[in-house]
Amino acid sequence: MTNEVLVVGAVSAETRAAVTGVVKGLESAFNAHDPIALSEQFAHEASWTNAVGTRLDGREAIAEFSGPAMKGFLRDSYARYDVVKLLEIAPEVIGVNVRQTPTDSSGNPVDGPHGVTTYVVARQPDGWKIVVGQNSAVGGPPAG
C-alpha cells in the first residue's frame, strides 16, 4: 500500500497537516473508544452518516450515539485511517477521502470489513473540523 496522498487544488502544507490531524484525531478517539474525543473532531453543526446508514446531526448527537456503540458492538473494534485524497472545494474547505483498515489493538491489520469515508473538513472558530461525513463499510480491502 502506498502512503501517497493525491492532492487536488491549492492545499497548502499547513492545511494538509491540519486536515490530516483531524482524521488522525478521529482514528485515535475511535481506537480509544472515546465518544467525546471522537465527537470533538466534528463541527457543532455537523452532519454524519455512519457505516450502518444512521444520520447524526450535530456534535452532541454524534457523542450520544458513539458512547453506547463503543461500549457495545464496537468495543473490540480498531482501525487505521489513511488519507488518500485531499480536494480543495473552496478556501478553507477540503474534501477528504479516507481508507479505513481494521486492526487489532496494537495497530496490526486483521480480517474484517474495511471502510471508505468521505469528509468535508472546514476551518471553524474552534479549529479544523468535519462538517459533513459519510462512512461506508466494504467487504474487503478497497481497490487502489
What pLDDT shows up at residue 49?
96
What pLDDT shows up at residue 2?
52
Query: Which residues of the chain fall short of a pLDDT of 50?
Result: 1, 144
Residue 22 DSSP symbol: H
Q: Which three cell numbers mark 19?
A: 486536515
Domain encompassing residue 61: 6-138
Residue 12 forms part of a structural domain: yes
Residue 45 forms part of a structural domain: yes
Residue 104 forms part of a structural domain: yes
What pLDDT shows up at residue 139?
75
CATH number at residue 91: 3.10.450.50
Residue 143 forms part of a structural domain: no
Contact yes or no for 117/84 (Cβ under 8 A): no
Contact yes or no for 79/135 (Cβ under 8 A): no
Residue 100 forms part of a structural domain: yes
CA–CA distance, 39 with 5 (Å, rounded to integer): 25
Residue 128: other Cβ atoms inside 10 A: 21
pTM over 0.85: yes
